[in-house]
Each structure stands twice: as C-alpha cells, then as structure tokens.
C-alpha cells in the first residue's frame, strides 16, 4: 500500500491582525514575522493516512510539498508523525504558481514515485481556501475524485471513504488509484508526535526536486499563461459609525430602529 | 560512695540476652537489606555531595521538628516528645553498654545522677505523655489525614507505651529492693516502686522484677526487629531522606538528557525513578500533612499526594493489597502490580493530570519527600514516550510549537500592550542602553487583563526613571507550562531560543511580573547556561520605593489581602517584598488570609491548569477565593497573571455581588504614585 499526501506550508492563520503585513507588490501576505505551519486540513489528511496504515498494519506514506526552503519544517513535522518519505519541490522554480500549475507539478511528481494507491489532500488550503488542487489533480491523473472525506478504511481491494452528509454518514466505495480530499473531523485530529520520532525526523533526508528533476519548465507553474490573477490584495479598513435614534415616543424610536436595521439588512 | 547502680540486679542468665540480641540484629539487618535492595533498582543521582551542608540541614530540621510543628502542632509536639524520649533512652542504653560491656565505668557520679537517672526519668515520662496524646489522636479523634489507620499504627504506639511503663516498673522495683540511696534522682521510678511495695511482699516484688525485666527485654527486641518491616522504618529512612534531599533551588525540575539514545524519557516503571525517589516511598510516615494543603485533594480531584506515595510504595513492595488507596485500580492484583507500568496500573492518568505543581506537598512534608518531581517524571513519560495527554494541553503544545506562546486562538501580538507607551524593543534598537530587561511573559503580553498589569509596571518604571527594554516579538514562552506538563523537549527548545536571544542582547538583569517566568529563568535557565540576575517585580518595586524613586501618596483607603503565588513564595521564598510594596501605599490596610506564606493555597492555575478545563470535583480557584474573601478585604492583591485570572473568576462566581477587586500589586502602587 502506498499513500501519498500533499501538504502545504502556510502563514499561521492565527497571526495577530496587528502583525499582518502585505508584501511589497501588494499581491499577498508578507512573510517573516508570523510563523509558518502546515495547512490545517493537510494535517487531517496526514492523520487519515497514518490511521489507514495503522489499521492495515503495513504500507508506506509519502509526503510531498511545493514550497520555499522553509517548507522543510512542514515536511519534517510530517516525518515526525511517522510518514516514511518526504519530498520538497522547489517553488522558486515556478514563479506565478496557480492552482492549475500546482496540480500539474504534483502530478508530475507523482509520476516519479512508486505507484500510489491513494493521493490525499486537505480539502482546501488554510490561506487561500481555493479548494481546487485536488480536483485538478484528479483531472490531470484521470483518477476518480472524492471530496470532503473524514475517514478511510480498506476492505479487501476496495477503499471505503466515509463522508459526512447533511443527514448522516455516507460511505463511498472506490478502487485505487484515486484522489481524496480530507476534511476535519473529531476522529482525524492530527496527532502529537512522540519526542523520539521528533528527533528521528531530524536524521531523515528530505529530497528536493527542481523543475528539471520533474521534467518541467518554469512555465509549467502557469507563469504568464495563468488564467487566475490576483487583482488586488488589501487589508479592509474597519470603521465605526454611530447614529442616534431620535423619535419622540418609544414606539417611534423602535420603529425607526427596525427600519434602519432592515435597511442595513441585519434583520 | 560514688553514685551508680548495679546493672543486672536480680537477673541470672544474662547470656541469654546476648543470644536474643544477636537474633534481633539479624532480623533487623535482613529487613533493612531487603528495603535497601529495592532502592537500588533506582537510577543514580548525586545526593551525598556537600555533606556538611546536608548534616547541618538534618540537624536543623530533625531535632526541632521544624515542619511537624508548623501544622498540627499538637500532634507534632507529641511526636517531638516521643522522638526525644527515644533519643535519650537510646543514649542511656549506650551508656550502660559502655559501662558494662566495654568496662569503661562511666555510669557513675554526675553522669549517673543527672543523665542516667534524672534526665531519663523525665524524658521517659514525657514520652509516655506524647504516646498517650498520639493514641488519643488516632483512636478517638481519628483525623482523616491519618488514614488508612492500620492496626499496625496503634500496635506501634501501644508497644512504646508498654516498653516505657515496664521500664519504670523495673526501675521502681529495683530502687525499692536495693534501698537505692540515689532514689531521689529517679522520681518517677521511685514513685512506681512505692506503689508496688504498698501491695506486694518482698519475695513477690523480686519475682515480679525478674519477670518484668525479661518481658521488657523481649518487647524491646521485638520492637527493634520489627522496625524495618513496619512504618517504624521511618526511624531510619526519615533522617536518610532529609539528609539526601535536593539541595538545588526548589523551583528547578531535574533535567532530562533528551539526546541520550536509549534512556527512557520520564518515568514509566519504578526503576526509572532515582534511588532517592524510591527511598522517599519508604520514608513517608503517612502523616497526611501533604494532603491537607493540596488544592487538588481539597477539591475532590483524584489526587492525594500522600496516596500517590503510598500507592507507589505498595507497588515497590508488591505486597498484599493492604491499605490500597483511592488512586489505585482495585482490579489489579498485587503480583500484576509489580510488573505493570505505573500509570494505568498503580496510578490513574487523571491523578497525574490533577496536579498544579504548587509544591505545597513538598513544603509540608516533614521527611523531605519530593512529590512534584515524581509527578512530572511520570507526566514526561506520558507526554514524550506515549504522546498521550489531555486535548487541551495538546492544543497548548501545538501553539507553543508553532507560535511560541501557549494561547491557541489569541489575536493579540506581543507588542499590542505597549500602545501609547515609549518602550524600547531590542529588535528595533539593538544597541540601546538599558538598566533592566522587562520580561513581559505570554500572559502579560497576550491576556487582556494582564496587559494592564504590564502597562502599570512599565508606567511605574517610567515614573521612577528606570531605563528598561523589552524583547518584544522576539520573546518566547519561557517553557514553564511545557516543562510542568512533562514536555521537556519543547521546554528545552524554548529555553535555548530565549537564552540565545537574551545573550545576543547581553542582558544581565531581568525583571518580570510573572512568578512562573521568574522561577524558570532564575532557577532553570542556569541548567542550560543562561545566567542572569532575575527579580520579581515585587522585589524591584520594593527597592524603588525604598530608594525614594517611587513615592506613593494617599488615594483613600482600601482593605487589602495578599495571595502568595506558589512560584514566588514556596518555590522562591519571596514573601515579604509584595507585602512591603502594599504597605508602602498610604491608606492600605493589610490583612492576612488564614492560609498564607508557605501555607498559601494554590489558586489552581499552575502545572498546565491555566490551559486546561478543570473537569472533576469542585473548582480550585473558588476554594481559594473563599478563603481570601473571608478576610473581609475589598481588594485581593496578587503578584501573578495566572492567580489574577483564576481569582478574578473565582471571586466573581463565589460572591457575585461583593464589591471586591482583584488587582496586581503593581496596579495598586501605580494608582497611588504620581
Ligand atoms: S504539587 Fe500541589 S497539587 Fe500537586 S500534589 Fe502537591 S500539593 Fe497537590
Ligand atoms: S509524603 Fe510526607 S507529608 Fe505526605 S504523608 Fe508522607 S510523610 Fe506525611
């Protein structure tokens, strides 16, 4: 059994608002002050993969990430959770990366790994919340795709994917290979690594792949051909306005209040 | 005529005594050896260095029963009488031995009259009084702290009584039968002799004397032989434990060598404890003093420090289920107990997660048992080896790992509190000159209530003209919460980061308003090469007031009571400074809660509890809040951000209508200072 989990390192979503800065181009957040973490749903995906392996008693798990050098920390964390192998794809080789490009690069990376049974992603990234990569990946690979899975079980050659639906649970049976996006659930809270595994993780090697290693060019990330563009990225200004309600009687004042609130569409 | 007496008056076949005595020594020696062997399974730890200091401590603590007299002074005094009775009688026996067996005739003259007769008579009588009080305490008053109250406990007291009474009978009969000219020097013995002489004929008295002599001898020898098999063992282990106590700062937990490949991280089995930890188990006298000051025990958590020790002792001896306590799982047989991992079998996990690490147990224990390091040792195994610990604490650990502070979900940054104040941040002004570094702490920076305390401190510094700086964004959690929950690895990572930042800015003197930060930087950072002069803001402010740099003036009147934080008081013996700060404010009338200083009761915020929901029993903060409200004060003064949060919440719940404010000493002082 071979499970591949795609993880992304993102700026800590809990960054205090007063620490949040834009990058010089005004196209995204500036890095530096706030810590970087594994995107939360990717951690759930890692946990699900680990649980599948534990239940099966065998299997390998590979974690891959496209990122800056700092993303080594995210992969190291995955290793300390007891993932077997970790690969970092150098994001610097792919300027202006978009979700199509990301899927294309990951698909190419997958081709260099031993055949995978399942490819797991978080349901969306914790910074942009696009939620597109897993679907694009499935399209690239021409594999079936199931979204928002909370737990996975293997029965014989079949994979049972458990999803929460509006009125209960839904279990989908599928055969490998397949792409699965994982959502958070009480049962897939990411584990805290044991300290010994933490230290062992520091002795493992993390392979770095360049665009050339994957047989791709800098255009593969989309570059100038991107169909997705950030027009403007800004911090909204919050302002407070105070209006006094006049009205002579209580009834009048109440009516006026209702009118105003209705006008603001809050009631 | 030289005053003395005949040693074996009326006794024949004395050789038999030597045979009995040899047997007694064998039984005694074997018993001690059996225990000794058990302590040997522990890990090594250096506890016999600085012998002079250790002996001084032993002689300071043991003879005066310092700790026994501080709480339950009645029973403590009874024990003091018994203790000194034993010492005198033992010395008296040594004198006889030297006189009779070594043929060095010292038992005569003044020594005979003043010591061997008078002093022994008085101490014997006082010892009887002590035993009687103890018996009453045990059989009539039945204090719950003395549970399990085994038959052994009473048998021990009764045998001491028998030994002493028969001793006096033997002496009295001898005095009467020999018409002892020095009888006046043994008043108790003489009186007993006179009573018997009133009722019996001389030959009967002779018979009685001989019979009592042998009976006394047999009881004494049995008693000696029994020592290593019963609670009496503490006659040996208590001084041994006091002698080998930790001489380092109380607030420093032992370091774990994380890098060591095969060494276990923390304590999962008995042999992972140090030999001193195991000796502690046999030193415990079951007095229950640790239990009565334990915030967890007082609020019905599944933890009693006494039972923790007794349960561990039981598993060390793997004896029958004799007196098994509330912490143990009754379904596990004694044989299994010896084999099983401690947590789960001997102790429940919840027991370990109920401790606030307040140190009251260690402070109270008269025989220097170290509870907290044992609890943290077992937590270390749970957290680092098994990665099994409460969810709330897991979230705290994640936050510490990712952001260097223990508050998941806070939106404040480390510098938000200083808005509008001119504060030097070293990252922006690395070359700035400063007198002291203000260590803000995670609570001081990120908790809204504590931010105003930090502001008060900064304002006071400005008023006093103190040149101070902060690390700002570069400050990390000191690691105290990580270390106290057993995550030594995370603690060491944070400690090393902070030490390298502090050293980079060549920081020498640190002031902090958080006793946890204070304790960790002061007592634990030196373990990793971080050497700084660290003072709590109470000490620093007291100094500023004394130097006249701060001049508090009247602001009306307030009735104030001070709550001693565990990590300031018990762990670092800073009791007077915060009181002096309060007293310097005109109009402050200070009252003390009944439990204060070393007996202060934990607010319930330590050991990870500030980051964990209190799920069992009643609330620790409410318990303490009640005690503080009972003083009638309208201001509860604190010196710790965690106490602040706990007690604010506690007072609001216990007395929602009371006009009581919880304030940091810095806030009180700042308000009164221009
Ligand atoms: S440290 Fe405090 S909470 Fe923990 S066992 Fe001792 S007295 Fe109880
Ligand atoms: S541990 Fe110390 S304080 Fe607690 S019961 Fe034993 S001897 Fe008494």
Order of strands across the sheet that contains B661-664: B588-591, B558-562, B635-638, B661-664
Report whether pLDDT(B509) > 90: yes
Examine the domain organization and report whether B160 and B285 are in the same domain.
no
> Residue of the nearest CA to atom 3 in ligand 1?
B355
Q: Do B258 and A18 touch (CB under 8 A)?
A: no
Closest CB from A17, A37, A191 relative to B411:
A17
**Residue B313 domain-assigned?**
yes
pTM for the model stands at 0.90
Please tell me the least confidently modeled range out of A67-76, A255-264, B157-166.
A255-264
> Confidence class of residue B555 from pLDDT cuts 50, 70 and 90?
low
Of residues B438 and B43, the one with the higher pLDDT is B438
Residues of chain B in Cβ contact (below 8 Å) with chain A: 258-259, 265, 383-387, 389, 391, 394, 397-399, 402-404, 408-413, 415-416, 473, 487-489
Distance CA B347, CA B327 (A): 6
CA distances from A16 to A12, A233, B415 (A): 9, 18, 10
Q: Which residues line ligand 2 (CB under 6 A)?
A: B 284-290, 305-306, 309, 364-365, 367, 369
Top mutation candidate among B240, B303, B305, B308 for ligand 2, by most atoms within 8 Å of CB:
B305
Of B383, B386, B413, the CB nearest to A19: B413
Residues B182 and B314 in one domain: no
Residues B236 and B98 in one domain: yes
B104 close to B98: Cβ distance less than 8 angstroms: yes
pLDDT-above-90 percentage for chain B: 79
Spatial separation of the C-alpha atoms in residues A196 and A193, rounded to whole Å: 8
Which of A16, A192, A195 faces B412 most closely, judged by CB atoms?
A16
Residue B299 CA to ligand 2 centre (angstroms):
19
Residues in chain B: 674
Helix (H) or strand (E) holding A161: strand A158-165
Q: Are residues B92 and B192 in the same domain?
A: yes
Ligand 1 nearest atom to the CA of residue B362, by list position: 6
Residue B282 lies in a domain: yes
pLDDT band at B658 (very low <50, low <70, confident <90, very high): confident
What is the per-residue pLDDT for B166?
Answer: 97
Interface test with A, best of B264, B387, B425 (most A CBs within 10 A): B387
Whether residues B165 and B39 fall in one domain: yes
Q: Coil, helix or strand for A103?
A: helix
Return the pLDDT at A24.
Answer: 78
Domain end point (choices B335, B353, B385): B385
A210: how many CB neighbours lie within 10 A of its CB?
Answer: 12
B42-88, pLDDT tens digit by residue? 889 999 999 999 999 999 888 888 888 887 888 889 999 999 999 99
pLDDT > 60? residue B363: yes
Tally the C-alpha atoms within 13 A of residue B610's C-alpha that lie toward its C-beta: 27
Q: Is the pLDDT of residue B199 over 90?
A: yes
What three-state secondary structure class fits A18? helix
Tokens of B586: 């005109």
DSSP state of A176: S
Chain B hits for A12, CB-CB cut-off 8 Å, are: 402-403
Q: Is the pLDDT of residue B321 over 60?
A: no
Q: Tell me whether A195 touches chain B (CB under 8 Å).
A: yes
- Judged by CB atoms closer than 8 Å, whether chains meet at B397 and A194 is answered as no
Co-location of B30 and B168 in the same domain:
yes
Q: DSSP code of B322?
A: T
Contact indicator for B124, B167 with CB cutoff of 8 Å:
yes
Question: What letter would DSSP give residue B115?
Answer: I
Any CB–CB contact under 8 A between A198 and chain B?
yes
Examine the domain organization and report whether B233 and B347 are in the same domain. Answer: no
Please state which of the ranges B256-265, B280-289, B554-563 shows the lowest mean pLDDT.
Answer: B256-265
Domain boundary among B359, B385, B411: B385
The half-sphere exposure of A162 on its side-chain side, counting CA atoms within 13 A, is 14
- DSSP one-letter string for B214-282: HHHHHHHHHHHHHGGGSGGGHHHHHHHHHHT---S-TTPPPP--TT-SSS-SS-SSGGGSBHHHHHHHH
Which tokens hold the place of B191? 């009186």
Give the C-alpha separation, B259 to B273, whole Å.
Answer: 19
Q: Phi-psi bin for B544: left (phi > 0), alpha (psi -120 to 50), beta?
A: alpha
- Say which CATH number the domain at B570 has: 3.40.50
Distance from C-alpha of B664 to C-alpha of B667, rounded to nearest angstrom:
5
User: Which of B385, B403, B430 lies at the terminal end of a domain, its last residue?
Assistant: B385
Domains and CATH numbers, chain A: 2-214 (3.40.50.620), 237-267 (no CATH)
Q: What pLDDT, on the 0 to 100 scale, is given for residue A165?
A: 84
Helix B537-546 vs helix B448-464: angle between axes, to the nearest 10 degrees?
30
Q: Which chain B residues contact residue A16 at CB under 8 A?
A: 410-413, 416
With cut-offs at 50, 70 and 90, classify the pLDDT of residue B320.
very low
Say yes or no: CB of residue B294 within 6 Å of ligand 1: yes
The predicted-structure confidence for B116-152, as pLDDT tens digits, reads as follows 999 999 999 999 999 999 999 888 877 788 777 788 8
Asked whether residue B172 carries a pLDDT value surpassing 80, the answer given is yes
Atom of ligand 2 nearest to the CA of B288: 5
ipTM entry: 0.85
Task: Verify that B219 and B322 share a domain, yes or no.
Answer: no
**In which domain, by residue range, is B369 found?**
270-385
- For residue range A228-253, list pLDDT tens digits in order: 777 788 888 888 888 888 888 899 99
What's the gap in Å between B565 CA and the centre of ligand 1? 14
d(CA A124, CA A120): 11
* Distance from C-alpha of B643 to C-alpha of B443, rounded to nearest angstrom: 11
* Nearest-10 crossing angle of helices B15-39, B202-226: 20
Picking from B353, B613, B394, the residue whose alpha carbon sits closest to that of residue A190 is B394
Task: Identify whether residues B85 and B23 lie together within a single domain.
Answer: yes
Q: Looking at the CA of B312, which ligand is closest?
A: 2
Q: Which of A12, A193, A195 sits opposite B265 (nearest CB)?
A: A195
Residue B327 has a pLDDT of 43
Bigger pLDDT: B503 vs B674: B503
Q: Are A179 and A137 in contact (CB under 8 A)?
A: yes
Containing B336, the helix (H) or strand (E) segment is: helix B334-339
CATH number at residue B218: 1.20.950.20
Nearest Cα of chain A lies from the Cα of B446 at a distance, in angstroms, of 10
Q: Is residue B447 part of a domain?
A: no
pLDDT at res. A65: 98
Residue nearest to atom 2 of ligand 1 (CA): B358
Q: Which residue has the higher pLDDT, A60 or B269?
A: A60
> Among all ligands shown, which has an atom nearest to the Cα of B253?
1
Q: Are residues B238 and B300 located together in one domain of the fold? A: no
Mean pLDDT of B371-391: 95
Q: What are phi and psi of B141, to 5 degrees?
A: -80, -30
At B380, which CATH number?
Answer: 1.10.1060.10
Residues B102 and B201 in one domain: yes
What does the pLDDT look like over B214-223, one tens digit per residue? 999 999 999 9
Closest CA–CA distance from residue B514 to any residue of chain A (Å): 22
Query: Whose Cα sits closest to atom 2 in ligand 2?
Result: B365
Domain count, chain B: 3
Model pLDDT for residues A16-74, shown as the tens digit of each residue: 888 888 887 777 788 777 789 999 999 999 999 999 999 999 999 999 999 999 999 99
Question: What pLDDT is stored for residue B574 in this prediction?
Answer: 97
Three-class SS state of A38: strand
DSSP-assigned states of every residue in B403-457:
HSSS-TT----TTGGGTTS--EETTT-TT---SEEEE--HHHHHSHHHHHHHHHH
What is the rounded distance in angstroms from the CA atom of residue B498 to the CA atom of residue B442? 13
Tokens describing residue B222? 């049995």
Percentage of residues of chain B with pLDDT beyond 70: 96
Residue B420 has pLDDT above 60, yes or no: yes
Shared-domain flag, residues B659 and B568: yes
Residue B295 Cβ inside 6 Å of ligand 1? The answer reads yes
Residue B565 lies in a domain: yes
CB–CB of A178/A159 below 8 Å?
Answer: yes
B452-483 pLDDT, tens digit each: 999 999 999 999 999 999 999 999 999 999 99
Q: Which of B155, B167, B21 is nearest to B97 (CA)?
A: B21
CB contact under 8 A, A195 and B489: yes
Q: Given pLDDT bands bounded at 50, 70 and 90, which one contains residue B340?
A: low
Which carries the bigger pLDDT value, residue B267 or residue A228?
B267
Say if CB B471 and CB B437 are below 8 A apart.
yes
User: A194 and B386: CB-CB below 8 Å?
Assistant: yes
Report residue B336's pLDDT band, with 50, 70 and 90 as the boundaries. Answer: low
Q: Do A16 and B413 touch (CB under 8 A)?
A: yes
Q: Write out the two tokens for A185.
A: 């659930």
Is B40 a residue whose pLDDT tops 60? yes
Q: Given the DSSP bridges, would you call strands A145-155 and A158-165 parallel, antiparallel or unpaired?
A: antiparallel
| Maximal C-alpha separation, chain B | 101
d(CA B549, CA B436): 15
Ligand 2 atom index nearest CA of B291: 4
| The predicted structure's pLDDT at residue B319 | 44
Q: State chain B's mean pLDDT as an integer.
A: 92
Nearest in space to A109 (alpha carbons), one of A91, A123, A95, A126: A91
User: Does residue B612's CB lie within 6 angstroms of at least one atom of ligand 1?
Assistant: no
Question: Residue A199 and residue B398: Cβ atoms within 8 Å?
Answer: no
Assign A223 a pLDDT band (cuts: 50, 70, 90).
low
**Are the C-beta atoms of A47 and B387 separated by less than 8 Å?**
no
**Cβ neighbours of B404 in A, within 8 Å:** 35
């Amino acid at each position: 059994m071979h499970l591949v989990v795609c993880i992304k390192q993102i700026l800590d979503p809990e960054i205090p608002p007063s620490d949040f800065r834009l990058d010089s181009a005004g196209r995204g957040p500036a890095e530096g002050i706030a810590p970087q973490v594994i995107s939360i749903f990717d951690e759930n995906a890692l946990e699900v993969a680990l649980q599948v392996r534990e239940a099966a008693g065998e299997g390998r798990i590979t974690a891959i990430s496209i990122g800056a050098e700092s993303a080594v920390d995210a992969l190291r964390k995955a290793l300390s959770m007891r993932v077997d192998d970790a690969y970092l794809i150098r994001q610097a080789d792919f300027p202006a990366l978009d979700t199509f490009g990301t899927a294309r690069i990951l698909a190419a990376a997958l081709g260099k790994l031993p055949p995978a049974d399942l490819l797991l992603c978080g349901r969306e990234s914790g910074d942009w919340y696009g939620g597109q990569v897993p679907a694009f990946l499935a399209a690239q690979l021409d594999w079936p795709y199931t979204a928002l899975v909370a737990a996975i079980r293997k029965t014989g050659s079949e994979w049972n994917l458990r999803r929460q639906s509006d009125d209960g649970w839904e279990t989908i049976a599928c055969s490998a290979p397949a792409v699965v996006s994982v959502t958070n659930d009480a049962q897939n809270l990411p584990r805290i690594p044991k300290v010994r595994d933490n230290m062992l993780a520091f002795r493992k090697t993390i392979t770095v792949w360049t665009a050339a290693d994957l047989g791709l060019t800098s255009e593969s990330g989309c570059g100038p051909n991107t169909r997705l563009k950030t027009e403007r990225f800004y911090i909204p200004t919050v302002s407070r306005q105070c209006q006094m309600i006049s009205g002579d009687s209580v009834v009048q004042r109440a009516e006026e209040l209702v009118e105003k609130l209705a006008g603001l569409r809050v009631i | 005529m030289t005053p003395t007496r005949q040693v074996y008056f009326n006794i024949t076949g004395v050789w038999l005594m030597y045979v009995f005595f040899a047997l007694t020594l064998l039984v005694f020696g074997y018993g001690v050896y059996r225990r000794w062997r058990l302590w040997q399974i522990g890990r090594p730890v250096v506890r016999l260095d600085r012998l002079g200091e250790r002996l001084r401590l032993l002689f300071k603590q043991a003879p005066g029963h310092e700790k026994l007299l501080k709480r339950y002074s009645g029973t403590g005094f009874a024990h003091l009488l018994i203790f000194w009775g034993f010492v005198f009688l033992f010395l008296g026996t040594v004198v006889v031995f030297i006189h009779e067996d070594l043929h060095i005739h010292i038992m005569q003259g003044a020594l005979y009259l003043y010591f061997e007769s008078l002093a022994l008579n008085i101490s014997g009588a006082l010892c009887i009084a002590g035993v009687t009080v103890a018996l009453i305490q045990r059989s009539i008053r039945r204090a719950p702290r003395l549970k399990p109250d085994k038959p052994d406990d009473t048998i021990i007291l009764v045998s001491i009584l028998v030994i002493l009474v028969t001793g006096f009978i033997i002496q009295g009969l001898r005095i009467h039968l020999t018409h002892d000219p020095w009888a006046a020097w043994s008043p108790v013995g003489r009186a007993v002799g006179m009573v018997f002489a009133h009722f019996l004929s001389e030959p009967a008295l002779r018979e009685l004397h001989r019979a009592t002599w042998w009976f006394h001898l047999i009881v004494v020898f049995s008693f000696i032989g029994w020592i290593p098999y019963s609670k009496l063992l503490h006659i040996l282990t208590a001084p041994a434990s006091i002698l080998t106590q930790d001489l380092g700062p109380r607030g420093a937990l032992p370091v774990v060598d994380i890098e060591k490949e095969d060494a276990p991280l923390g304590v999962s089995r008995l042999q992972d404890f140090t030999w001193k930890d195991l000796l502690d188990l046999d030193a415990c006298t079951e007095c229950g003093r640790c239990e009565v000051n334990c915030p967890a025990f007082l609020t019905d958590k599944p933890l009693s420090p006494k039972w923790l020790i007794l349960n561990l002792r039981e598993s060390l001896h793997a004896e029958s289920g004799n007196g098994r306590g509330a912490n143990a799982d009754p379904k596990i047989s004694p044989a299994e107990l010896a084999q099983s991992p401690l947590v789960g079998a001997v102790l429940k996990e919840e027991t370990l997660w109920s401790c606030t690490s307040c140190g009251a147990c260690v402070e109270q224990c008269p025989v220097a048992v170290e509870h907290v390091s044992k609890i943290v040792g077992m937590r270390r195994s749970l957290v680092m080896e098994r990665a099994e610990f409460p969810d709330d604490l897991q979230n705290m650990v994640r936050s510490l790992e990712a952001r260097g502070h223990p508050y998941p979900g806070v939106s404040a940054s480390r510098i938000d509190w200083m808005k509008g104040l001119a504060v030097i941040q070293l990252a922006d002004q690395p070359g700035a000159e400063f007198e002291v570094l203000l260590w803000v702490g995670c609570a001081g920076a990120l908790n809204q209530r504590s931010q105003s305390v930090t502001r008060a401190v900064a304002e006071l510094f400005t008023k006093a003209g103190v040149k101070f700086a902060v690390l700002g964004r570069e400050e990390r959690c000191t690691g105290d919460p990580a270390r106290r929950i057993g995550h030594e690895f995370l603690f060491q990572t944070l400690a090393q980061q902070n030490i390298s930042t502090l050293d980079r800015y060549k920081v020498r003197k640190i002031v902090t308003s958080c006793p946890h930060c204070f304790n960790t930087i002061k007592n634990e950072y030196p373990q990793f090469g971080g050497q700084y002069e660290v003072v709590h803001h109470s000490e620093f402010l007291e100094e500023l007031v004394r130097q006249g740099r701060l001049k508090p003036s009247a602001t009306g009147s307030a009735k104030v009571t001070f709550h001693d934080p565990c990590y300031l008081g018990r762990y670092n013996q800073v009791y007077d400074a915060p009181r002096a700060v309060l007293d310097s404010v005109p109009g402050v009338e200070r009252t003390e809660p009944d439990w204060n200083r070393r007996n202060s009761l934990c607010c319930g915020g330590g050991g990870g509890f500030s980051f964990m929901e209190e799920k069992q029993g009643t609330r620790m903060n409410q318990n303490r809040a009640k005690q503080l409200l009972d003083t009638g004060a309208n201001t509860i003064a604190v010196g710790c951000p965690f106490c602040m949060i706990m007690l604010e919440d506690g007072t609001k719940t216990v007395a929602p209508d009371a006009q009581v404010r919880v304030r940091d000493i810095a806030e009180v002082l700042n308000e009164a200072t221009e």
